[in-house]
């Protein structure tokens, strides 16, 4: 009997295998498969190199396989990988909680719950808010993304592809419009909608929490205006409502501050964290005021893998890297360069029509719009730009209500040379098809 010839591993063969083995409900932005990565670069299984402006959807603020993160993980691997913190505790969990409490974006004492995913963090933040207030209603915003679980999906403010056909899961979750001046929604209208909600649908003394992303992620990198955040704080203080800042994508240095809400000088009551918290390892957290966190009874919070010792070791190293390599300042430098270069590109007459350049720090996005009407989003063009960029070795992601936003989530550890190379590829991808080289 002749042995079968080995099947070569290519992107095409892996796509074929995937189509049979993996549910189609899991979508991918690219049809390439990673083989190895370092800092802001990825090589696929066929040896092609890509510059990473996606960071695994904002996970890799410290880049792929940062040496200090890998060293911390390897050291923990030599000790133990799992006990379940609820069975037998371990020092890295406590040490990480202490360090997060020390940098919490509020003045009062803090406590931390460690989990595994961002959606899990949001669900637990809502549970804690309900326990602390004795109320059940939650207010969220249009365009928000808080997760794909049943409760977080109810708070997520985008129908396709996340909610279509999933049934109603919005019991006691209310929504108000997120202000976007370029779409005709002002801060005043958002505030009016909140008070109209209190008048018509849910009394403020029934609301446990208002949850907001200081910078919306999937919603299109929309920055929450200072006026809105300050008004929400006032409303929460008046009515005993808790303010939850969802910092899963905007936190851990991405905006030039550890937490994006710090730009507004507004103190939340609870903060959800994940993504860049652990440098690529699964870890999430709820960080909250101690007097609120203490309302949860023993056993009411947790999870088998919550606060994995591997993730904790990685997160402790990430905190060291952010501090020692001055990544908060680096985020501002990268953001300034992105804004400058993208502004220059937008002024060319041979590129697609760009609009609404925005963001904080290195969390930068811009829209592609109709050349005839800059108020009309052009999601098709954004998708084509991402495809052209990928073909030339740059991974970027789109987002926004109509998929019209190109978002940049480059690692904060990116070198100048790689950053400029990536921007040059993006510039070529933005050229009008009939004028592209």
Q: Which two tokens stand for residue 90?
A: 């371990």
Least confident of 144-158, 293-307, 346-360, 364-378: 144-158
Residue 53 has pLDDT above 90, yes or no: yes
Q: Residue 305, Cα to own-chain centre: how many angstroms?
A: 21
pLDDT digits over 330-379, tens only? 999 999 999 999 999 999 999 999 999 999 999 999 999 998 888 899 99
**pLDDT band for position 156 (cuts 50, 70, 90):** low
Question: What pLDDT sits at residue 286?
Answer: 98
Q: Is 70 exceeded by the pLDDT of residue 168?
A: no
Kindly state the percentage of the chain with pLDDT values over 70.
Answer: 94
Per-residue confidence band for 165, with pLDDT thresholds at 50, 70 and 90: low
Is the pLDDT reported for residue 162 higher than 60? no
The C-alpha angle with vertex 306 and arms to 303 and 308, in degrees rounded to 5, equals 145
Closest CA to 385 of 411, 356, 358, 354: 354
Per-residue pLDDT of 379-406, as tens digits, reads 999 999 999 999 999 999 999 989 999 9
The chain-wide mean pLDDT, for the chain, equals 93
Percent of the chain with pLDDT over 90: 86
Q: Higher model confidence: residue 3 or residue 257? A: 257
* pLDDT classification of 20: cutoffs 50, 70, 90: very high
Does pLDDT of 110 surpass 70?
A: yes
Here the tokens at position 71 are: 């060293």
Which one-letter DSSP state was computed for residue 26? Answer: S
Domains and CATH numbers, the chain: 11-65+326-429 (3.90.1150.10), 69-324 (3.40.640.10)
Residues 6+ apart with CB under 8 A from 15: 31
Q: Which two tokens stand for residue 375?
A: 């108020």
Mind listing the pLDDT tens digit for each residue in 207-224? 999 999 999 998 889 999
Q: Which two tokens stand for residue 106?
A: 């509020």
* Half-sphere exposure of residue 300: CA atoms within 13 angstroms, side-chain side: 16
By three-state DSSP, how is residue 260 classified?
Answer: helix
Instruction: Give the neighbor-by-neighbor strand order of the sheet with 363-368.
Output: 354-360, 363-368, 405-408, 397-399
* Residue pair 162/126 in contact by the 8 Å Cβ criterion: no
Query: Is the confidence at residue 16, as pLDDT, over 50?
Result: yes
Q: What is the mean pLDDT of residues 32-41?
A: 98
Across the strands, what pairs with 365? 358, 407
Q: What is the pLDDT of residue 2?
A: 44
In sequence order, what DSSP letters do the residues of 118-178 get, joined into one string? HHHHHHHHHHHHHHHHS--EEEEETT----SSHHHHHH----TTTTTTS----TTEEEEPP
Confidence of residue 169 (pLDDT cuts 50, 70, 90): low
Alpha-carbon distance 305 to 117, whole Å? Answer: 10
Mean pLDDT of 237-256: 97
The answer, yes or no, to whether residue 160 has pLDDT greater than 90, is no
Q: What is the pLDDT of residue 375?
A: 86
Quick one: pLDDT band at residue 158, thresholds 50, 70, 90? low
- pLDDT over threshold 70, residue 420: yes
> Per the structure block, which two tokens stand in for 86?
């609820």
pLDDT at 144: 87
Let me know: does 413 contact 68? Beta carbons within 8 Å. no
């Amino acid at each position: 009997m002749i042995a079968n010839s080995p099947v070569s591993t290519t992107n095409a063969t892996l796509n074929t295998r995937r189509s049979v083995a993996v549910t189609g409900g899991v979508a991918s932005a690219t049809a390439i498969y990673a083989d190895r990565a370092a800092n802001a670069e990825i090589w696929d299984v066929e040896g092609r190199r890509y510059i990473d402006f996606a960071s695994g959807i904002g996970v890799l603020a410290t880049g792929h396989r940062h040496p200090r993160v890998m060293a911390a993980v390897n050291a923990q691997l030599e000790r133990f990988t799992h006990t379940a913190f609820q069975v037998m505790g371990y020092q890295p969990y406590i040490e990480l909680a202490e360090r997060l409490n020390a940098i919490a974006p509020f003045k009062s004492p803090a406590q931390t719950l460690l989990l595994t995913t961002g959606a899990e963090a949001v669900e637990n933040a809502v549970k804690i808010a309900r326990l602390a207030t004795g109320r059940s209603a939650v207010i969220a915003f249009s365009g928000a993304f808080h997760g794909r679980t049943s409760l977080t999906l109810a708070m997520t403010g985008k129908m396709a592809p996340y909610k279509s056909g999933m049934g109603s899961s919005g019991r006691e979750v209310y929504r108000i419009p997120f202000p976007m001046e370029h779409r005709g929604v002002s801060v005043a209208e958002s505030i009016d909608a909140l008070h109209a909600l209190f008048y018509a649908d849910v009394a403020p003394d029934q609301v446990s929490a208002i949850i907001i992303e200081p910078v919306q992620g999937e919603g299109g990198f929309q920055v929450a205006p200072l006026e809105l955040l300050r008004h929400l704080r006032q409303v929460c203080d008046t009515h005993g409502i808790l303010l939850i800042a969802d910092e899963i994508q905007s936190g851990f240095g991405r905006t030039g501050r550890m937490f994006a809400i710090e730009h507004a000088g507004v103190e939340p009551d609870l903060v959800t964290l994940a993504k860049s918290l652990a440098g690529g390892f699964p870890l999430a957290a709820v960080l909250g005021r101690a007097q609120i966190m203490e309302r949860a009874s023993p056993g009411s919070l947790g999870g088998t893998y919550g606060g994995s010792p591997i993730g904790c070791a990685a997160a402790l190293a990430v905190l060291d890297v952010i501090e020692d390599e001055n990544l908060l300042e680096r985020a501002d430098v990268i953001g300034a360069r992105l804004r400058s270069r993208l502004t220059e590109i937008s002024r060319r007459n041979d590129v697609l029509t760009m609009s609404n350049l925005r963001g904080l720090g290195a969390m930068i996005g811009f829209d592609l719009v109709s050349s005839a009407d800059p108020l009309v989003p052009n999601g098709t063009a954004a998708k084509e730009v991402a495809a052209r960029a990928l073909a030339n070795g740059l991974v970027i992601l789109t987002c926004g209500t109509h998929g019209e936003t190109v978002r940049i989530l480059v690692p904060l550890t990116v070198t100048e040379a790689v950053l400029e190379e990536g921007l040059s590829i993006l510039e070529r991808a933005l050229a009008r098809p009939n004028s592209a080289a």
